[in-house]
Amino acid sequence: MRLALLVSGSKAMLESLKREKVKVIFGIPGGAIMPFYDVLYGDPDIRHILMRHEQGAAHAADGYARASGGVGVCLATSGPGATNLVTGIATAQMDSSPVVSIAGQVPTAMIGTDAFQEADVFSLMLPITKHNYLIRKAEQVPRVVKMAFEIAVAGRPGPVHVDIPRDVQLEEAEVIYPSGRILDFKDPSAGASSLAKAIKMIAEAERPVIFAGGGIITSGACSEVLMLAELLGAPVVTTLLGKGVVPETHPICLGMIGMHGSRITNRAVIECDLMLAVGVRFDDRATGNVQSFAPKARIIHIDIDASEIGKNVRVDLPIVAGVKETLTSIYKNLAASQEKLKKTVWGERINQLRRELPEEDLNQSQGGSVVTPPLIVRTVMKVLGEDDIVTTEVGQCQMWTAQYLKVRRPRTLITSGGLGTMGFGFPAAIGAKVAKPSSVVVDMAGDGSFLMNCNQLATAVEEDIPVVVVVFNNRYLGMVRQWQELFFGKRYSATYLGETPNFVKLAEAFGGQGWFVERASELEPALREAVKCGKPAVIDVQIPKEYNVFPIIPPGRGLQDMVG
């Protein structure tokens, strides 16, 4: 028999979070959430990290979740505090990251009166979360919190928001903490008929490709993908969020497909006769024009989320099921067959493509002392270990990283894929470092993107979170400028950022350390010093102002239309 305990809503919230094994909260206090902060004060079990903007709190919780494989938690007050979370929560939703956001709300009697710092956060969060709650009674707190955490990780992960009015935090009630799970959710299993069809299609294929997405990392099925790929001799191509599904140093991995994918990867997709797509959304940046995507291939799509099947691309065999279990079944059946499964002719063709389509950035090679973006990425890769973590901002810096960084383990590249959120990388790096304190964490940043959340340097310094920011400094909103150059007649409208700030002085002003790099020979020593310094560090790297990301597929075109 479970006994009811008389406690306040705030204390019930704190105890519920502890029962979910929450160790870290990223947040900013305010009037409507103050009662909870009062019970959090001095608590030895949960570390609160004071961010400098609520968007950064959401991104830090997201980075924590992606690096750890657990749930990230962020906290804000009502009104502008909660609305500032929205971009970060939408980012987590697009990339299937399990985040629980909690915000205070005006007292229940004042909801709907346009009270001070009131916003209809429940409605705002509806389209960008898996679920969200408005708690109206203190007795509801334990069940709501437990449900929020279960929903965040069930099936396809994603964010859940909880709004808790100020009076509910203060109200005392008899509460019961649920024991065991509330949701009876189990990953759906692939039917025998679908599995049989998939196995037959794969065995018959002469030129199979495995298209791997972030859903594989989420489901912990990376080893299953590699085993299946090696069994078949099938090259693996990935989405941006799928980088690291298999080690990108492995010859079976061709790399990322799509708008800024490699020539060999996109060519393999064009020529394949079977695509086994696993944990992917078929988003437009990966597919290009869907009418010409994988034109010769039959497509098998395995995904836990039925809404993604057939949403963007025609699918010949849909399988709505847990990825790990399904891949295990396919592998075991194929491995047990007597058929010769390795596609040696296809392998020879892939090797031919490797020779014909080298991945080096030959179109923009610049020798001597000039620091080029490929050099930056390769230097970072040289300095970091395979368990160290790279986050990115959004724009050219992100795509250069995606093109040249060979990710060796899952959850070591953290980037905003679906929403493409500038300002994501630095607070995400803070969250990742908190989750994995023994790993070096480096944020690959464009100057424009870093400026959006550089105020989190104060957080990193005060909380002793030593992350390294490498700024690709071209004084432009680089990706927008590139599009203006290529598609708008070089009319650079509102993309030049000017010659400020001095990022070294900015880092020092916050109490961190900074390095200025303008020659290739200075880059590696600066990076090694920044990693060793034990403080938040910013490396301001001067790159050519009009250096572009190539190859690129022009908007509206297909994978066969790569230029550059």
Q: Are residues 101 and 85 in the same domain?
A: yes
**468 DSSP β-pair partners:** 442, 537
- CATH number of domain containing 153: 3.40.50.970
Q: Are residues 367 and 401 in the same domain?
A: yes
Q: Are residues 298 and 315 in the same domain?
A: yes
> Which residue type is seen at 278?
V
Q: What is the pLDDT of residues 342-374, one digit of tens each?
A: 788 999 999 999 998 876 553 344 556 899 999
Q: Tell me, what's the pLDDT at 342?
A: 78
Q: Tell me, what's the pLDDT at 433?
A: 98
User: At 325, is the secondary structure helix, strand, or coil?
Assistant: helix
Among candidate residues 426, 506, 446, the one with its CA nearest the CA of residue 88? 426
Q: Are residues 136 and 257 in the same domain?
A: no
Q: Are residues 25 and 99 in the same domain?
A: yes
Q: Are residues 249 and 386 in the same domain?
A: no
Residue 163 phi/psi, 5-degree rounding, is: -100, 130
294, 322, 356 - which closes a domain = 356
Q: Is residue 547 one of the residues assigned to a domain?
A: no
Q: Is residue 381 one of the residues assigned to a domain?
A: yes
326, 356, 386 - which closes a domain = 356
Q: What is the pLDDT of residues 219-239, one digit of tens each?
A: 999 999 999 999 999 999 999
Q: Beta strand 298-303 with 317-320: parallel, antiparallel or unpaired?
A: parallel
C-alpha–C-alpha distance, residues 44 and 179, integer Å = 23
338, 356, 374 - which closes a domain = 356
Q: Does residue 501 have a cis peptide bond before it, meaning omega lies within 30 degrees of 0? A: yes
Q: Are residues 462 and 535 in the same domain?
A: yes
- Structure-model confidence comparison of residues 339 and 251, the more confident one: 251
Q: Are residues 493 and 349 in the same domain?
A: no
In percent, how much of the chain has pLDDT > 90?
A: 93
Q: Tell me, what's the pLDDT at 362?
A: 39
- Cα 7 to Cα 135, 140, 175: the distances in Å are 16, 12, 7
**Which band of pLDDT confidence, cut at 50, 70 and 90, is reported for residue 30?**
very high
Q: Are residues 212 and 234 in the same domain?
A: yes
Q: Where are the alpha helices (DSSP H) in 357-466?
A: 373-383, 396-404, 425-435, 447-453, 457-462
**Which band of pLDDT confidence, cut at 50, 70 and 90, is reported for residue 2?**
low
**Which band of pLDDT confidence, cut at 50, 70 and 90, is reported for residue 406?**
very high
Q: Is residue 181 one of the residues assigned to a domain?
A: no
Q: Is the pLDDT of residue 465 over 90?
A: yes
b/e burial code for range 39-77 (CB count within 10 A of at least 16 → b) = bbeeeeeeebbebbbbbbbbbbbbbbbbbbebbbbbbbb
- CATH number of domain containing 224: 3.40.50.1220
Mean pLDDT for 406-424 is 98
Mean pLDDT for 152-176 is 97
Q: Is residue 563 one of the residues assigned to a domain?
A: no
Mean pLDDT for 375-394 is 97
26: containing domain: 5-175
Q: Are residues 336 and 409 in the same domain?
A: no
Q: Is residue 553 one of the residues assigned to a domain?
A: no
Q: Is residue 548 one of the residues assigned to a domain?
A: no
Among candidate residues 409, 410, 392, the one with its CA nearest the CA of residue 401? 392
Mean pLDDT for 44-59 is 98
Q: Is residue 196 one of the residues assigned to a domain?
A: yes
Q: Is residue 222 one of the residues assigned to a domain?
A: yes
Q: Is the pLDDT of residue 3 over 70?
A: no
Q: Is the pLDDT of residue 420 over 70?
A: yes
Q: Tell me, what's the pLDDT at 1?
A: 46
Report the predicted TM-score, pTM, of the whole model to 2 decimal places.
0.96
Q: Are residues 315 and 447 in the same domain?
A: no
Q: Tell me, what's the pLDDT at 360?
A: 58
Question: What's the number of domains the chain is made of?
Answer: 3
SS (H, E, C) 235-275: CEEECCCCCCCCCCCCCCEEEECCCCCCHHHHHHHHHCCEE
Mean pLDDT for 290-306 is 97
User: At 517, is the secondary structure helix, strand, or coil?
Assistant: strand
Mean pLDDT for 445-471 is 98
Q: Are residues 169 and 277 in the same domain?
A: no
Q: Tell me, what's the pLDDT at 364?
A: 44
Q: Tell me, what's the pLDDT at 367?
A: 54
Q: Tokens 């990322």 correspond to what residue?
A: 256
Q: Tell me, what's the pLDDT at 337?
A: 83
Q: Tell me, what's the pLDDT at 344?
A: 86
